[in-house]
Each structure stands twice: as structure tokens, then as C-alpha cells.
Amino acid sequence: MLPLLLACAPTPGGGDTSDAGEALVVVTFNTGTTEGVGQHDDGDGYGPEQAALSDLYYGDGLAWSAAVESTRAFLAQVQPDLIAFQEVFWSGECPGIPTEAWPGFVCEAWREGDPTVAQVLLGEGYQVACHPGKPDKCLAVRTARGRFAGCEEELCLDGLEGTPVEGCGSGARVARGRIEALDLTVVGVHGSSGIDAEEQACRVAQVEQVFLDLGDGRPGADGAHTLVLGDLNTDPYRFASFDQSAARWNDFVGEGLPMQWISPVGPDAPGSYGGVADIDHVASDSFTGACWHGGLDGRPEPYPYSLFDHRPVVCTVTPR
């Protein structure tokens, strides 16, 4: 049994488990959007003009204030113990954004020293640490469960361990955090997007960072007990026949291997991305569990209007 002193009651985040008394609620959520979303006003004030501003100034990260508040309420209901964010807008960029692009977005109210979007989404009681060079990609842990080793503050930009893949953009898309109180290594992943051979090769290198060498001579998943979570930007089942990075994931995760998928993988998986592919996943060498997708099967959703192109994946995991 892992040293997880988690005697917690079941929460709304829970899937179906046989032993909720030792449950850990784990979430991965790509909170980004695209310019193709929001091309009509659903009633929240976000329409084509705002979609264009989001793309031009906010990197299509979560920055629309109404969506931030709604997602905050969603996460307050789910009560995650661990969460991986991808494409969450970093408020430190606000001073460089023209004021005419502020209305309705978080920069309208944000001032230097205020909490970042990731911190607002979670509220007090969480520690946030981000990928080196990528403040839009962060892991967070409930401080009642533990804290990231080497991160002394409530927010540590560049607080995780990771290195860029040469030729695949700046910053670390794979990053490692250690939670000593749980004897747990957490690896956040945001694979490069695209289906061209070069983009597939970038994702292959990122998979190998997780399992072979993060860039420091050790695999990202080098702990005695590990959770891997994030947006892979590939579907390990549906894309395996034509995407070398999907096939590479299957070299390390799956039946007969130490690392197993916890999130659903296969022909009947619900489609975390646009309902057509499952690219958002949780895997582990030490936990099993069950997952659900925000907004499906009567589950809560982070925002009632069209904005996100991913659904959050919420898993309740227990030691194997």
C-alpha cells in the first residue's frame, strides 16, 4: 500500500471506485479554445470579435472572465487533489496587451501582484508549479495532501523539472514534479500539436522524455509511484495506425506493461477533444481508478457556453 494518508470522504469528483476512503481526485484539463469556437454569441458576450482577440492576444488560453468564474465553480465542486492545466492564460502577460483588448477578459481587472488565472481557478489551499518556460502549463496540488519539492511559494513559475525538445518550440512540454508527502512523482504532458511528420517526431521525443530521459539523464516518470497526465495531442487508440507518437505511447503504457491507462482508451472512449478523439489522459504505474468527462452523461461541466475545445477528464484513483 502506498503511503497515501488520504482518508477523505467521496467528493463530486469521484468516479465509481470500490474504496473511496483512499481516493485521490486527479484532473487534466486543456482550458484553451480556438478561433473557430465562439463564432456566434451564445449569450455570454463572447462572439467572433472576442474569439479573434483571444487568438491574437491571449494565445487562446483561458482568459474570458465569465469562463474563468464558471470553471472556478466547477473545480470547487470537483475538489481535485492534483490537476494539470494546459493553455491556461498567464496573467503576467496583461501589461503587454492593449487596453482595448481587455473588456470581458481577465486583464480588465487584473493588477500586478494579483493571483494568476490558475490560482483564481483553484482558490486558496493549492500550490501551483509550472513547466520551465511555459507559464501556461502548470501542475497544482492541494496543500492538505502535500507540496512540490523545491517550490517554497504558493506559485512557482518554472517550478517543475523539464527541458525543451530541440526543434520543437520553446519551453518544456513535459515536466516533472515530486510530492514528497505522497511519495509521488507527477508528470505533466502537453504534446506538440499537428499531424505532419515533424510534429509527430516532436511528440515521439516528448514521450521518450516521459519514459527514457527528461533531459537530466532520468525518465520523467522516475519515481517509485508515478502519475502521468495531460494533453497528449494524439489518441493512443484511434491514431496508432498513422501517428508514430500514438504508437510510441503504446510502447510504454498498456496491457502487460508497468504503466496502465486510467482514462478510457479505445473505440468506445467518449472523445475528450471535440467528441472525436481522446487525447487527454491519465496513466499510472501505481494507481487504478475510474474517470468521467465534464459535461457528458449528466456530469457537471466547466462552462455552459461554447468555448473550450477539450473536456476536462476527472479521475478518482486508488493505489493498486
Q: How many CA atoms lie within 13 A of 177 on its CB side?
A: 32
Question: For the chain, what's the residue count?
Answer: 320
Give the pLDDT confidence of 89-107 residue by residue, as tens digits.
Answer: 999 999 999 999 999 999 9
Give the pLDDT confidence of 293-302 residue by residue, as tens digits.
Answer: 999 999 999 9
Task: Kindly state whether residue 271 falls inside one of the protein's structural domains.
Answer: yes
CATH number at residue 310: 3.60.10.10
Task: Kindly state whether residue 252 falls inside one of the protein's structural domains.
Answer: yes
Report d(CA 165, CA 273) in Å as an integer.
24
Report d(CA 318, CA 311) in Å as an integer.
23
Task: Kindly state whether residue 11 falls inside one of the protein's structural domains.
Answer: no
Q: What is the largest CA-CA distance in the chain?
A: 55
Query: How do beta strands 313-319 and 24-30 pair?
Result: antiparallel
Indicate the number of domains in the chain: 1
pLDDT at res. 2: 39
- Which amino acid is it at 24? L
Task: Kindly state whether residue 18 falls inside one of the protein's structural domains.
Answer: no
Domain range enclosing 193:
24-319
pLDDT at res. 209: 98
> Looking at the predicted structure, is the pLDDT value of residue 10 above 60?
no
> Looking at the predicted structure, is the pLDDT value of residue 13 above 60?
no
Partners of 26 in the β-ladder: 82, 315
Task: Kindly state whether residue 234 falls inside one of the protein's structural domains.
Answer: yes
Task: Kindly state whether residue 246 falls inside one of the protein's structural domains.
Answer: yes
Task: Kindly state whether residue 16 falls inside one of the protein's structural domains.
Answer: no
Give the pLDDT confidence of 256-296 residue by residue, as tens digits.
Answer: 999 999 999 999 999 999 889 999 999 999 999 999 999 99
Cell 517543475 found at? 160
pLDDT at res. 37: 84
Confidence of residue 6 (pLDDT cuts 50, 70, 90): very low
Task: Kindly state whether residue 19 falls inside one of the protein's structural domains.
Answer: no
pLDDT at res. 149: 98
Beta-sheet strand order (sheet of 174-179): 174-179, 184-190, 226-231, 280-284, 260-261
Average pLDDT over residues 7-14: 38
pLDDT at res. 12: 46
pLDDT at res. 17: 34
pLDDT at res. 64: 97
> Looking at the predicted structure, is the pLDDT value of residue 243 above 70?
yes
Mean pLDDT of the chain: 92
pLDDT at res. 85: 98
Report d(CA 78, CA 97) in Å as an integer.
32
Nearest Cα to Cα of residue 90 among 135, 154, 139, 157: 135
> Looking at the predicted structure, is the pLDDT value of residue 228 above 50?
yes
Query: From the DSSP assignment, how many helices (H) and strands (E) are in the chain?
Result: 5, 12
Backbone angles phi, psi at 76, to 5 degrees: -65, -30
Quote the percentage of the chain above a pLDDT of 90: 88
Cell 492538505 found at? 144
> Looking at the predicted structure, is the pLDDT value of residue 238 above 70?
yes
Report d(CA 191, CA 118) in Å as an integer.
20
Give the contacts of 182 (CB within 8 A, at least 6 positions apart).
2, 3, 4, 145, 146, 225
Give the global pTM: 0.93
Report d(CA 78, CA 110) in Å as an integer.
26
Q: C-alpha cell of 311?
A: 473536456
